[in-house]
Structure 1
């Protein structure tokens, strides 16, 4: 039914354009803007390459900021670091998630931290921040991640190497990240990355809910999904079913933790969920939403980043060689300090996320009228989106070699080393590289994510060479929902590496 309705609407727009012989306002960015309907036809034509299309608009814009009009609504896109700083820091209070975005994502995320503003967001951030101190990070690397790598990841990949079988690395990394986030955040082990690679309803439901919620967000005709929700048909029916499974899973995790806390007043390791429950915030729906938000953050972002990282190093063996050299200089049993000081690997991960950020775009709503640093006027209620994917592809930020995968752009030689061979990582301005957001809402789990990713990279590359099992000339497709994915997964073979 949705397809037929959308087809009718699309047909109407096309016919309208033909009948009226609409003169196009083909701006200097090459995007065709029509009277009345604005960029609607262009968006329809580029619906499967939305991220790339908007990137092209921003690359061609002298100010790296553009206004896209869809029927009666205007949306602003920006890849200008000054505008990003303005939105995420200078005028932070004027650019919340907004009630519109909150309503769209509420069925899946509820009042979780990624869908909250104001007091609720501040509370969740304050309690969550305790999970990311040095003591917690050290425990995370030395126990949780190390055990998952040694006891599950490496044996699974070793079996594939021995049999010559092909695995979907994207799926493996999602399983790994899911186990990790559940262990560290909830003290719960879902055992998703077992040698049998068990099928589970939850990950499938989570994927469905993510995709459908994203289509809600980018829909030109929100009335369609709202009517479908009322009638409980099509994609909205599937979303309701998926969300039901997700909430049942989260509710089970919460109930199990409550029972554990009742039996033991002091836990050996205080996880995030225990902190919320022990601080008096025991409302079942509120805590359930927190669980769902942290699964989204921990499962999908790091797995997406690592999937594209392994693709890029398979295309750049010289980078892989330098990473392997760095790994070889560390102790055989990598601990917190070893992982933390892997400067070249850290740079390669940053470079990978510059080109393929786990979250390519993020949207805020203007609470009041405003003016961006370049003079762009923003009316109250306007959606404004900053675009990390496009920012990673701007010559004005990264230079004429922006298209190259070049970890060295993040490094300098140490002045303390007499031979000058020691690499030192040099961070970029977070408003030019907002992959982890910036300002008051900067990602709390940034350091934890890097530690986890570097430990995974070291574990895999010290044991195997990752070989894409694809046809010659294959180019992966970047698809974006709430987080990015490699379309169709990433089939690979693992070749055992000589120690």
Structure 2
């Protein structure tokens, strides 16, 4: 019976395949909006641009009135794509209960993320957020920076970079940063050290499986006709067979962490300095699958987002020596301060990281599903079950939000000159000017705004300070080669980020 729908649509699928071949998968022109045909909607152009879907959606909203566009998908389905701060505020705050994860997204990611915090709504989401929030107090953040991040930086990352510099090795810096972030999130959230950032840089089965599960789950969600992945899953063929194996590996790893934590808690008399997983267990939540969902979700949050942000930050620094010089100047000015105070007060570096994430957001778009009919502030009609996608990547490229120089990497757009305590001597400093979270939803906004925002900034600033104080990170890409921005659940630099590490001399 499952094959009947596929057989019914075979002639249509053959027509589409022939049209795609005749188009030779040509890139979408930013001068025209996608064409829509009866029954198949804009399927032809969606399929032709599937390999650059982030950029294509961005092209569309940039030429759409009010930066909002309704995309017609196959079989009458519609999706709203927006880069309007007013609409973002509407769906993430003003009408928050109306816009949820939805069935399409939750089902696509269910095998991988289960009912973890990033794949659920309602009471389950509230519970996970409430328990996790304890990890982000000032006391926890100081401990994270001074103990966890600093130890990983000093004992593992910097020695690896020193060896690479001495031997003139080429490193995949994206991989290095992912390993660093993975160790950090496991230590702070689960009290577990996976020791993934080691000199051997060996690949682990878990890391490979995690990456594959993320990619295939995203492919599921982006599939123009969802029944395709559902049939493949039922028949256990193609990428669905690979996903089943990958998810099995990931969940086994997560359950092992849960099992070890349960044994550890049985021997503990109190919960002093407890990690997040301990708090969940001690609050009466012992279901192994639910706890594994939590572990997987927080690995995703801690491993892939900050590493993606740092990867693109170091790339942009290499292209903008003026900015690197300013960052380095600030690092040296703060070098005598305690570790936590040093990173907390790095205003220029904070601005440079914000500017980098404007151009290359770790999560370039996010999608909600309407649970009832609605009308957006710009008059766009949303019917129950429709998806509404806010496009963070596109929002960082709008003239009306950032000016005609939006393509330039300018940390100063986040800063204001202020008098310092030494202003009588003609000394001035910087004050950070934050943008509202609806114009800059890199960390989401409204009730679901990212709990780990401050933790992410502190970790990134500590990494930047630790590396740049001693080393220069020099891309080892070919002459004139620009890295390609791609995204699954989080952003990536396609093919990794090859670099050479060079020791700084005192005069630099």
TM-score bin, normalised by smaller chain: over 0.9
Within 1, Cα distance between the matches of 2:112 and 2:337?
40
1:339 aligned onto 2:346: no
Q: Deviations over 1:120-164 (max 9, x none)?
A: 000000000011000000000000000000000000000000000
1:52 aligned onto 2:58: no
Name the counterpart of 1:473: 480
Unpaired segments ≥5 residues, structure 2: 1-5, 23-28
Name the counterpart of 1:295: 299
Root-mean-square deviation (CA, aligned residues, Å) is: 2.1
Name the counterpart of 1:35: 38
1:447 aligned onto 2:450: no
Q: 1:262 to 1:425 in 2, by over 3 A?
A: same
Q: 1:18 to 1:447 in 2, by over 3 A?
A: closer
**Contact 2:20–2:48 (CA<8 Å) still a contact in 1?**
no
Matches within 5 A, 1:193-342: 193-267=197-271, 269-332=273-336, 335-342=339-346
**Contact 2:420–2:428 (CA<8 Å) still a contact in 1?**
no
Q: 1:302 to 1:10 in 2, by over 3 A?
A: farther
How far the C-alpha of 1:216 sits from its partner, in A, is: 0.3
1:79 aligned onto 2:86: no
Name the counterpart of 2:155: 151
Q: Deviations over 1:356-412 (max 9, x none)?
A: 000011000001000000010000100110000000000011111111110000000
TM-score (norm 1): 0.95
Within 2, Cα distance between the matches of 1:54 and 1:77?
7
Unpaired segments ≥5 residues, structure 1: 20-25
How far the C-alpha of 1:197 sits from its partner, in A, is: 1.1
Moved more, 190-199 or 296-305: 190-199
**Contact 1:413–1:420 (CA<8 Å) still a contact in 2?**
no
How far the C-alpha of 1:7 sits from its partner, in A, is: 10
Within 1, Cα distance between the matches of 2:362 and 2:494?
13
Within 2, Cα distance between the matches of 1:151 and 1:160?
15
> 1:63 aligns to what SS in structure 2?
helix
**Contact 1:414–1:420 (CA<8 Å) still a contact in 2?**
no
How far the C-alpha of 1:415 sits from its partner, in A, is: 3.3
Q: Deviations over 1:101-132 (max 9, x none)?
A: 11111000001000010000000000000110
Match of 1:405 among 409, 426, 449: 409
**Contact 1:339–1:451 (CA<8 Å) still a contact in 2?**
yes
1:456 aligned onto 2:458: no
Within 2, Cα distance between the matches of 1:223 and 1:381?
17
Name the counterpart of 2:107: 103
**Contact 2:30–2:59 (CA<8 Å) still a contact in 1?**
no
Q: 1:370 to 1:272 in 2, by over 3 A?
A: same
Q: Deviations over 1:224-254 (max 9, x none)?
A: 1111111111111111110101011000000
**Contact 1:29–1:61 (CA<8 Å) still a contact in 2?**
no
Within 1, Cα distance between the matches of 2:11 and 2:195?
46
Match of 2:16 among 10, 13, 16: 13
Q: Deviations over 1:437-472 (max 9, x none)?
A: 000000000000000000000011001000001111
Report the count of equivalent residues: 491
Match of 1:497 among 493, 504, 508: 504
Moved more, 311-320 or 332-341: 332-341
Within 2, Cα distance between the matches of 1:16 and 1:475?
31
How far the C-alpha of 1:44 sits from its partner, in A, is: 1.4
